[in-house]
Amino acid sequence: YLRGLGNEHASESLPGALPEGRNNPARCPYGLYAEQISGTAFTAPRSEGKNLRTWMYRKKPSVTHEPFKSIEHNAELGSKLGERVIADFAPSSRDIEATPNQLRWFPRKYPEVSKMTGNRIRSTFIGGLETVCGAGSAATKDGYAIHTYACGVDMVNDCFANADGDMLIVPEKGTLDVQTELGRLEVPPGFVCVVPRGIRFRVTLPEIPQDGEENEPDADFARGYVLEVFSGHFELPDLGLIGANGLASARDFEMPTAYCDDDDAMHRARDAGEWAIVHKFLGEFFEAKQSFSPFNVVAWHGNYVPFRYDLSKFCPMNSVSFDHADPSIFTVLTVRGGSASRPGAACADFVVFPPRVNPTADTFRPPYYHRNSQTEYMGLIRGQYEAKVDGGFLPGGGMLHSCMTPHGPDAETFARASSPRACDEAGRIGDDALAFMFECDYAPRVSKRAMRGETLDENYYKVWSSLRSYFDANDRD
């Protein structure tokens, strides 16, 4: 892997494949084609790495394909892809609705049952995507969408390109082998990866056998979360008064090295077949056929690159005396945006709650009761989240607390964390747990599928129903 988020990188799988001193000579080394992918406007400022592009040197250019055709219907699952994956959250959309309620979902089950045949269907990463909520629109390049995925089948002769935005992928179950045009990323649970807008990639599942019976109800699978941002790109947050070090370090982000499909005999054999390029554009899915592998890049250089990050390398900051710090102190990556009238607001932040020590004295240590101008979606990669011990927030599940929706610890957590002993003992938090949050500026609308699916926890509100008043006008302490 190459290291350093925001750096200019270069890689070649064949020595001398990168042109010297120029980007697109009349004849590239080895007869390769030069192709640039631009992640920002040509005139975006170079300062602070805001101008993003990468030059690829490939055997055939990506333009060499048959015309795109709309994929209107997922025949296996008996539903339209546009109903499952949403990129326009305008009020007029029939697939979404607004709700101020606290929402919680149990983990998705797999395989999914076809509405058409009743059979259990194992999906690839693309077919396993499903939107939870979002705001804004891919058409205006403003906003975000939050999805989950559940899949058990390799993408073999197909790849995926998302023209609508960057995708932050958070595995909860099962390692992903993410092969991109620029190289491969291994992404197990506890890692995250980002695939920028437009970069073609495919997902295979190295831990899951692919030769079993398709309809086995207990077939193994991979599951996780996706934060898709329509505006901007993921970058490190400013550290302000923290200083030069802490939180996520740029050196710990890893980028792939060039990997051309012809480097592997298995891929050479597959290269003779037909490839499908699945392209998401304005929330609709299209497919084009081509006779060669899209992963034919022999060398590349630039700063518009997919990457992965090991969450165990995050260096958390916290109070060492009293009071619970705001969750923004745990921000790993941010996407700038939101309204200029709301200073400090981001289109989206990716926040992680790793194992850590909390030495605060006379302090209620779990997250406080809260109403927030931002929207918070929480997921759980492993273990038990510190503020929910009722057993309903499970790895692979999710919680959504929208703008100004009250939320906070459940009744049992409050009782435990308010005891004198809990307030005075310095202790470790979440040694076996790893939770995260997508914090977003725009208030979301929720997918009707998510609101009506069997994973919705309709009793979530009851985790606070046993909270009682402890007020006593005669007992100040």
10-residue block means of pLDDT along the chain (477 residues)? 96 96 95 97 86 97 94 56 84 93 95 71 90 96 96 93 98 98 98 98 93 56 97 94 94 97 54 82 94 95 98 93 89 84 86 90 86 95 88 94 94 84 69 94 95 94 92 87
Q: What tokens were used for 399? A: 């919680």
Are 166 and 131 within 8 A, CB to CB? Answer: no
Same domain, 111 and 246: yes
* Count of beta carbons in the 10 Å neighbourhood of residue 190: 16
Output the domain CATH number for residue 106.
2.60.120.10
Nearest C-alpha neighbor of 196 from the set 256, 252, 248? 256
Total domains present in the chain: 2
Same domain, 261 and 405: no
Q: What tokens were used for 307? A: 């990457």
**Which residues define the annotated binding site for Fe cation?**
370, 376, 407
Q: Does some domain include residue 469?
A: no
Q: Does some domain include residue 470?
A: no
Same domain, 291 and 331: no
Rounded Cα distance between 125 and 196, Å, is 17
Same domain, 301 and 339: no
Confidence at residue 269, expressed as pLDDT on a 0 to 100 scale: 45
Helices (H) and strands (E) counted in the chain, each on its own, are 5, 31
* Count of beta carbons in the 10 Å neighbourhood of residue 63: 8
Confidence at residue 197, expressed as pLDDT on a 0 to 100 scale: 98
Same domain, 70 and 19: yes
* Count of beta carbons in the 10 Å neighbourhood of residue 216: 12
* Last residue in a domain, options 268, 294, 311: 311
**What's the whole-model pTM score?**
0.94
Q: What tokens were used for 86? A: 């949403």
Same domain, 294 and 406: no
Are 193 and 203 within 8 A, CB to CB? Answer: no
Same domain, 383 and 442: yes
Confidence at residue 74, expressed as pLDDT on a 0 to 100 scale: 53
* Count of beta carbons in the 10 Å neighbourhood of residue 425: 12
* Last residue in a domain, options 257, 276, 311: 311
Same domain, 105 and 149: yes
Same domain, 332 and 259: no
* Count of beta carbons in the 10 Å neighbourhood of residue 318: 14
Confidence at residue 345, expressed as pLDDT on a 0 to 100 scale: 85
Confidence at residue 319, expressed as pLDDT on a 0 to 100 scale: 86
Rounded Cα distance between 95 and 198, Å, is 25
Same domain, 109 and 246: yes
Structural domain boundaries enclosing 246: 2-207+219-311
Same domain, 330 and 348: yes
Q: Does some domain include residue 212?
A: no
Same domain, 275 and 403: no
Q: Does some domain include residue 404?
A: yes
Q: Which residue, chain included where needed, has tokens 């048959």? A: 66
Q: Which residue, chain included where needed, has tokens 């891929």? A: 267
Q: Does some domain include residue 468?
A: no
Rounded Cα distance between 437 and 230, Å, is 18
Question: Taken in order 372, 374, 379, 381, is the CA torsion positive or negative?
Answer: negative
Q: Does some domain include residue 364?
A: yes
Confidence at residue 115, expressed as pLDDT on a 0 to 100 scale: 67
* Count of beta carbons in the 10 Å neighbourhood of residue 399: 23
Give Cα 19 to chain centroid, integer Å.
34
Confidence at residue 424, expressed as pLDDT on a 0 to 100 scale: 60
* Last residue in a domain, options 286, 311, 336: 311
CA distances from 57 to 194, 209, 240 (A): 22, 34, 39
Q: What tokens were used for 393? A: 């927030």
Confidence at residue 266, expressed as pLDDT on a 0 to 100 scale: 44
Q: Does some domain include residue 465?
A: no
Residues with active-site annotation: 324
**Which residues define the annotated binding site?**
370, 376, 385, 407
Question: Taken in order 256, 163, 130, 296, is the CA torsion positive or negative?
Answer: negative
**Environment class of residue 219 by beta-carbon count within 10 Å: exposed (0-12), middle (13-18) or buried (19+)?**
middle
Q: Does some domain include residue 34?
A: yes
Confidence at residue 215, expressed as pLDDT on a 0 to 100 scale: 45
**Which residues define the annotated binding site for homogentisate?**
385, 407
